[in-house]
Amino acid sequence: MPAATRPGVGTPGLRRVLPDASIGAPESLPQVEDLGERALARVEGVLVVEANPDAQWRLARKMTVAGKRVVGTSSGGGALALVARWEVDLVLVAEDLPGMDGLELTRRLQEHCPGVPIVLMTDGDKTDVRVSARLAGAAGCVRRPVTIEALRGVLADAERTAIADAEQAVALLDGDPEH
């Protein structure tokens, strides 16, 4: 039975939670593919924000074939309206949108649905865009055309970051100055 979702919030347990209670020290972490596969398996609702209708359709089709519920929009305003009333567990945002660009939309989405992974889709592989995306709150960037494997990689990186953050928080609470 799928986990319950709430509009603009997503599936409980997907956000920055240790993916498996058996995971301990970093050296015992599952392989990247396993983390990405687990994270993607928990995703039910996907919002695709892409101005190019053909690219939006192709990506929505890939996600649907992967068993996800998908809704698409071509603008930042449309995305904000959708997350207010549709269950979303993952948001895929094009860097180049009309009006509000992908980075600004990422910032605004983080305010409306914190903890929901947002992935910025780019045409290139520029370091400054990747850094700006992370600062805006994106889980990461993928180069277009987007593949399921690339999404798994970004989600695995987000899981690793969440695990490291949780371990650091626990160490700080336990008074471990090493972390």
Q: Which residue is associated with the tokens 């890939």?
A: 62
Report phi then psi at 19, rounded to 5.
Answer: -70, -20
Beta bridge partners of 40: none
Distances (CA, A) of 146 to 24, 81, 99, 164, 176: 32, 24, 23, 27, 41
Which residues make Cβ contacts (< 8 Å) with residue 170, sequence separation at least 6? none
- CA-wise closest residue to 52 among 18, 1, 92, 96: 96
What tens-digit pLDDT sequence spans the chain (179 residues)? 344 444 554 444 333 333 443 334 444 444 545 767 777 777 788 999 999 999 999 999 998 998 899 999 999 999 999 999 988 989 999 999 999 999 999 999 999 998 899 999 999 878 889 999 999 999 999 999 999 899 888 888 887 887 787 888 888 887 765 65
The upper half-sphere exposure of residue 101, i.e. CA atoms within 13 Å in the direction of its Cβ, equals: 8
Query: Tell me, what's the pLDDT at 18?
Result: 33
pLDDT tens-digit series, residues 139-161: 999 999 999 899 888 888 887 88
3-state secondary structure (DSSP) of residue 160: helix
CATH number of 32-172: 3.40.50.2300
- Cis, peptide link before residue 30, omega less than 30° from 0: no
What are the backbone dihedrals phi and psi of residue 11, each rounded to the nearest 5 degrees, phi first? -85, 125
Domain boundaries, the chain: 32-172
